[in-house]
Amino acid sequence: MSQLERLLKMAEDELTEYSTDARKIEKLRRKIGLSVSLAEQRQVKEALLANMQSSEITKIVEEQRQVVALPFWGIAGLGLLLGISLNQPIGLLAAIAGTVAAVRIQKWGWQLQAKRLLLQTLDDIEARIAQPNN
């Protein structure tokens, strides 16, 4: 597992906890500071910036992944309802397709959010190194 993948897993773990972004960054900063050297942090940041996509769709999915996935959950539920009640196989296929699409959208948003949290944490570490008096 590469350093970037390991740090992204740490960021995803922090996302599971209910706390403010500042608290998540603080906890992640401590973990990164103990386990990753400064040179490796810079390499990870460069790799992260190279991998991140910047478009309107990714921004929306990152910030509102559940809202984006909601119509697909609706398609899944409606397909299941129609597939069972009317005995229509196409409804069951729609249920499966809607579920797969919704799960993938939410997973993609989760990964985007973890990347953003990791990037914010690395920026925070650099800012604290640049201003050691604070």
* pLDDT at residue number 78: 93
* pLDDT at residue number 72: 96
Closest CA to 114 of 16, 27, 39: 16
Q: How far is CA 84 from CA 64, 72, 74, 92, in A?
A: 31, 18, 15, 8
Specify the pTM.
0.83
* pLDDT at residue number 44: 85
Q: Which alpha helices (H) appear in 1-134, and where do they start and end?
A: 3-15, 21-35, 38-51, 56-63, 65-85, 89-130
The ranges of the chain with pLDDT < 50 are: none
Listed as own residue / partner, the contacts of 61-66 with beta carbons closer than 8 Å and 24 or more positions apart are: 61/105, 61/108, 61/109, 61/112, 62/109, 62/112, 62/113, 62/116, 64/109, 65/105, 65/106, 65/108, 65/109, 65/110, 65/112, 65/113, 66/106, 66/109
